[in-house]
């Protein structure tokens, strides 16, 4: 018993020398990293839970719970949060109809695929995660219609889908389909 009294503080002391400070930053590469961390970890114990199940505020409380369960580092947990948040960004969603994006330069399919972190969960040309199926040749195999539907509502053909409903415009979806058709 005396041993523990000495031992635990000692462990803590040793560990604290390795500390790094948590940072809150959010950028596109963090989102892509988050998609990868999510894909590699969030389906290990249970079905991966899609972003739209909780609000951003709720995720900020749930993710630390899962950080502990999944043994994520603080940085990884933050990246997952950034990824989930990015798909819940309602300001992007509301721009879809209003046409306020019209003046903006349309991003290329490749850029969008990188920005939304599709390859966190899917292999494209051999590169990417395995939570979802490979996407190379998907348009040829299943048709434009199918991919468009999937991007609009991932649950349309699978109620248990982990794929997030991304905030994207019709033009974004077309650009992604064109990219995946190549």
Distance set, CA 51 to CA 1, 3, 156 (Å): 46, 46, 16
**Separation CA 69–CA 25 (nearest Å):** 23
Identify what 150 binds: other proteins, ligand HEC, none; CB under 5 to 8 Å per kind.
Answer: ligand HEC
CB atoms within 10 A of CB 115: 17
Backbone CA torsion sign across 128, 81, 29, 87: positive
Q: Which two tokens stand for residue 160?
A: 């248990």
Identify what 135 binds: ligand HEC, other proteins, none; CB under 5 to 8 Å per kind.
Answer: ligand HEC
Kindly report the backbone phi and psi dihedral angles of residue 123, in degrees, each rounded to the nearest multiple of 5, phi listed first. Answer: -80, 135
Binding site for ligand HEC (CB under 6 A): 35, 38-39, 41-42, 44-46, 49, 62, 65-66, 69-70, 72, 80, 113, 116-118, 120-122, 131-133, 135, 138, 147, 150-151, 154, 158, 161-164, 166, 176
Please report, as ranges, the residues that interact with other proteins according to CB under 8 A: 1-2, 4-5, 8-9, 11-13, 15-16, 18-26, 39-41, 43-50, 53-62, 64-65, 67-69, 71-75, 78, 81-82, 85, 129-133, 157-162
């Amino acid at each position: 018993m005396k041993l523990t009294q000495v031992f635990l503080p000692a462990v803590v002391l040793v560990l604290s020398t390795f500390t790094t400070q948590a940072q809150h930053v959010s950028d596109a590469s963090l989102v892509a990293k988050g998609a990868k961390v999510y894909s590699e970890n969030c389906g290990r114990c249970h079905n991966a839970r899609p972003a739209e199940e909780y609000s951003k505020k709720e995720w900020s409380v749930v993710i630390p719970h899962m950080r502990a369960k999944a043994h994520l580092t603080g940085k990884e947990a933050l990246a997952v949060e950034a990824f989930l948040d990015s798909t819940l960004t309602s300001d992007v969603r509301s721009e879809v109809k209003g046409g306020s994006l019209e003046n903006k330069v349309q991003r290329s399919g490749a850029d969008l695929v990188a920005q939304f972190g599709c390859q966190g969960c899917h292999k494209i040309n051999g590169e990417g995660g395995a939570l979802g199926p490979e996407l190379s040749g998907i348009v040829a195999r299943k048709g434009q219609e199918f991919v468009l539907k999937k991007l609009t509502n991932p649950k349309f053909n699978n109620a248990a889908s982990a794929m997030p409903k991304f905030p994207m415009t019709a033009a974004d979806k077309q650009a992604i389909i064109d990219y995946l058709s190549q």
